[in-house]
Amino acid sequence: MRHYELTYIIASDVDEEAFNKALAQVQQWVEELGGRITETHRWGRRKLAYQIREYTEGHYVTQQLELPPQATKALERNLRLYVPIIRYLLVRADE
């Protein structure tokens, strides 16, 4: 298991219920791939540096996770296809 840091932006037009559903969905994907989320930091709603699709603001979330290296492609595929998430970045954390 390797340590990764996942940062993603959820669309600004989602309500609290949809926001929590998106967090739960990401957690479910990580667990299905044999990993686990160790920390979650909600940054809140912030202005984007540049417009993404029609959005100028978004809800930022950063999570520390442990995941098998071969599972990163499947997680990134799920994040890319999930509509509420407008941008993500998955990087390997220094050990």
For residue 30, the enclosing domain spans 12-54+76-84
Q: Tokens standing for 38?
A: 């160790």
93 located within any domain: no
Asked if the structure places residue 36 within a domain, the reply is yes
Does any domain span residue 30?
Answer: yes
Q: Has residue 21 been placed in a domain?
A: yes
Would you say residue 1 lies in a domain?
no
Residue 63 lies in a domain: no
In a domain? residue 40: yes
In angstroms, the CA 31 to CA 6 distance is: 14
In a domain, residue 16? The reply is: yes
Query: Do strands 36-52 and 85-92 pair parallel, antiparallel, or not at all (unpaired)?
Result: unpaired
Q: Per the structure, how many domains does the chain have?
A: 1
pTM score, two decimals? Answer: 0.91
Res 94 pLDDT > 70: yes
Share of the chain above pLDDT 70, in %: 99
Q: Confidence band (pLDDT; 50, 70, 90) for 21?
A: very high
